[in-house]
Amino acid sequence: MNLKRMTALFKRELTDILRDKKTLIMMLVVPIIIYPLLIVGMTLLMSSIMSSQAEKTYLIAFENDTDLEKQIGDIIEDNEEKIGYKLEIVKENDCQGSLENGTIDAFVRVEENDKVLLCYLSAKDRSSTAVSALNDAFELYREELTKEKIEDAGLDAEVMLNPIRYEQEDYSTTEESIGNLIGSMMPFLIVTVILLGAIYPAIDVTAGEKERGTLETLLTLPITNFEMIMSKFLAVSCIACVSAVLNVFSMGGAMAFLVSSSLSSAANMNIEIHYETFIPGILFTIVVMMFFALLVTAVCMCTCVFAKNFKEANNYVTPVMLIFMFGSYAAMIPDLELTAQTAAIPIVNVALLVEGLFQFHYNYGLFAIVLFSNVAYSLLAIMILGKIYNSEAVLFSEGLSSVKLFTRRSDMKEKQMPGFGDVVLLLCIVLLLIFYVGTFAQLKFGFFGVAVQQLIILLCPLVYAWYMKADKTQLFSIQIIKPLQLAGSVMIGIATFVGALIIGALLMPVFPESAEGLTQLDDMVVNQPIYLLILVVAIMPAIGEELLFRGFVMGTLKKRCRPIVTIVVTTLIFAAYHMSLIKMFTIGIVGLGLTLVTYKTGSIAASMCVHFLNNLLSVLITKYPTQIQRVLPILFKDRLSVSDMLLLAAVVLICAAVGWMLIGGKKKEKQKR
């Protein structure tokens, strides 16, 4: 990467975007002028309408000449403050007719059984207001009558009417209540403004560039693909960030104006709001927004690049926009909070984090996960973008297409191998299914939900491979394994398991839960019968996860990458997949072992077997802790001493060496033949 060239390209993209009127309007005019105007203007309009309504006089008539007219008249006169509207009683002969033609706003009819009817037209706002004021007057009259009746009976009216006195008392500070309100609305606003800021520039630099015909010009320049994408990506992110920050400030200002004006006018109370308490929240929000803008930009660009022109890009990007907005509703779901799991879900994590910030929850650990996951997802999206920009099919609208799933099934070649795009797509599908279907199943069916989740992991790669007519034997490394190689694999499995124990113990001071990751299972599963546990916790993951990671992912990478890249990337994906920052290292080590054995032996049976044994051990430990403790006491120690560690390290070395020899030795023999 050449920094000077990239700066020049970045400058060019930025100039180009900023000279586009559409973007400028979206970025500057909308936030700085339209939003405040709308919010403040609407409020002023509403309050002026309300006050003019209060000043109006509403005309009321009584159909029958009764005593009631005088009584109510007195009440209205005495309680104008309480009722809040001016009511005037007028004489009318044909009350219903007058109501219908609008000379009066409501009238009172007394029926034969002394039932009083307040007659009005619900279709008319004036009439509705009048009747509700009239209703208040009658309510006051009723109270007066009740009081009189009670006192006539010789009782204390105050005690009879209010036998118990109670009030609500709110211990939340004003800031907390306001924060709660803003926190539930803010995520949606933020997602929307970032989208608005990002979409136009994203379309402009991708589809717009194609439409204007400058893409081919750009390709003639001596720049690498990466420089081209990064300069575009950074320029759009910059614009999205700036416009989002502008938006938040202008909206925040307008909202602050609203809150203070409504408080001062409505309540007549001396509430002082300490706006400065929101400053940390706002600052963090801006930081989160910047990271989120990266993701939004990358996703928008990935979508728009497939379009040939502005109009088409607009169509493509609309569903993306809806998905983002839908995700931001997460903040409005009660009880859904930011946890280690939700912190890794794109969009939702940002929504929950921002909501939390305004409710003064500062959890820096989760904060880090949210930022990290946003960067990770953006990188993923940029990688995909790079892939798309490499595809001449997309750039020149001709050539060979790159994601296999996007071609018709009948056109697919038999026995093909998937590409990187397929791996990313499959992982996304599995993640989404697990998150939505799996979580739902777990909530609904408890333990059997776990089985559903495992089934998803098992079926997805198989179905994907079947659909794209992949060469399954090669992709999933289906091959019979020699007993010695299997023994070697198990040895390596033991080595990595023990290695993970050591790492877990070493990380204990940093992440107290890290050691638990390996051996302890959820409380939910403990009470299940042993055969079910073995099936769901040991056998199914051993088959499903291996098919997905050591099968599909590694099989694809193996074809296209160097061995070291294949092994590292597969392991990283496997570790990241368990969605826990704490367990990542220990699972990563075990994953490395699994990846290595399949890579070395060329058979998925190796890693399946090791994975099964590893999970079986967890099941046995959970189910029969006392028996296992007798055999392997070291697994139950809270702290490992230095001598324990050295012993374990020796076990790792010996097992790894023996295992490596067993696997490798056979291979050499094969080569000799």
Partner 1 sequence: MIIVDDLCKEFERTVMSKEDEAQTKRLAKSHKKGTLKQKKESFYAVNHVSFQVPQGEILGILGPNGAGKTTLLRMLGALMQPTCGSVAIEDENGNRITDPVQYKKSIGYLSGNTKLYHRMSTREMLYMLAEIYEIDKQTADERIENIAKVLDMHSFMDNRIEKLSTGQTQRASIARCLIHEPDIYIFDEPTLGLDILSADAIVNFMKSQKEAGKTVLYSTHYLEEAQFLCDRVLMIYQGKIVKEGSPEAIMEECGVGNLRDAFHHVMEEVDTL
Name the residues that contact partner 1, by CB under 8 A. 2, 4-5, 7-9, 11-12, 15-16, 19-20, 212-214, 216-217, 219-224, 392-393, 396, 398-401, 407-408, 410-411
Least distance in Å: CB of 349 to partner 1? 37
86: β partners: 57
Selection from 189, 197, 191 nearest residue 18 by Cα: 197
* H or E stretch covering 264: none
Structure-token pair, residue 457: 């992991």
Nearer to partner 1, 8 or 110 (CB): 8
Please give the Cα distance from 201 to 13 (Å, whole number).
9
Q: Residue 5 burial by CB count (10 A; 0-12/13-18/19+): exposed, middle or buried?
A: middle
Q: Compute the residue count for the chain.
A: 673
Helix and strand numbers (H, E) in the chain are 32, 4
Structure-token pair, residue 581: 């920052």
Least distance in Å: CB of 193 to partner 1? 25
Nearer to partner 1, 208 or 418 (CB): 208
Least distance in Å: CB of 23 to partner 1? 11
Nearer to partner 1, 8 or 259 (CB): 8
State the amino acid at position 354 in one-letter form. V
- Within 13 A of 161's CA, how many CA atoms are on the CB side? 13
Nearer to partner 1, 64 or 225 (CB): 225
The angle, 0 to 180 degrees and rounded to 10, between the axes of the packed helices 225-262 and 279-304 is: 140
Least distance in Å: CB of 388 to partner 1? 15
Nearer to partner 1, 400 or 564 (CB): 400
Please give the Cα distance from 452 to 438 (Å, whole number).
6
Q: Is residue 563 helix, strand or coil?
A: helix
Nearer to partner 1, 53 or 401 (CB): 401
Give 131's contacts (C-beta < 8 A, 6+ positions apart).
105, 106, 118, 120
Least distance in Å: CB of 24 to partner 1? 11
Q: Is residue 58 helix, strand or coil?
A: strand
* H or E stretch covering 268: none
State the amino acid at position 318 in one-letter form. T
Nearer to partner 1, 211 or 422 (CB): 211
Nearer to partner 1, 98 or 407 (CB): 407
Nearer to partner 1, 8 or 273 (CB): 8
Least distance in Å: CB of 202 to partner 1? 17
Please give the Cα distance from 4 to 10 (Å, whole number).
10
Q: Residue 161 burial by CB count (10 A; 0-12/13-18/19+): exposed, middle or buried?
A: exposed
C-alpha torsion angle, residues 85, 91, 95, 99 (rounded to 10): -40
- Residue 169 DSSP code: -
Q: Residue 572 burial by CB count (10 A; 0-12/13-18/19+): exposed, middle or buried?
A: middle
Largest distance between two CA atoms of the chain: 119
Nearer to partner 1, 13 or 69 (CB): 13
Least distance in Å: CB of 311 to partner 1? 18
- Within 13 A of 438's CA, how many CA atoms are on the CB side? 16
* H or E stretch covering 60: strand 57-62
Q: Which residue has the tokens 């001596």?
A: 222
End-to-end CA distance of the chain: give it in Å, rounded: 46
Least distance in Å: CB of 212 to partner 1? 6
Nearer to partner 1, 310 or 585 (CB): 310
Least distance in Å: CB of 11 to partner 1? 7
* H or E stretch covering 552: none
Least distance in Å: CB of 449 to partner 1? 40
Nearer to partner 1, 19 or 673 (CB): 19
Please give the Cα distance from 427 to 424 (Å, whole number).
5
Least distance in Å: CB of 215 to partner 1? 8
Least distance in Å: CB of 17 to partner 1? 9
Q: Which residue has the tokens 């998905």?
A: 323
- Residue 277 DSSP code: G
Nearer to partner 1, 402 or 598 (CB): 402
Nearer to partner 1, 213 or 334 (CB): 213
Q: Decide if 378 contacts 407 (C-beta within 8 A).
A: no
Least distance in Å: CB of 269 to partner 1? 54
Least distance in Å: CB of 393 to partner 1? 8
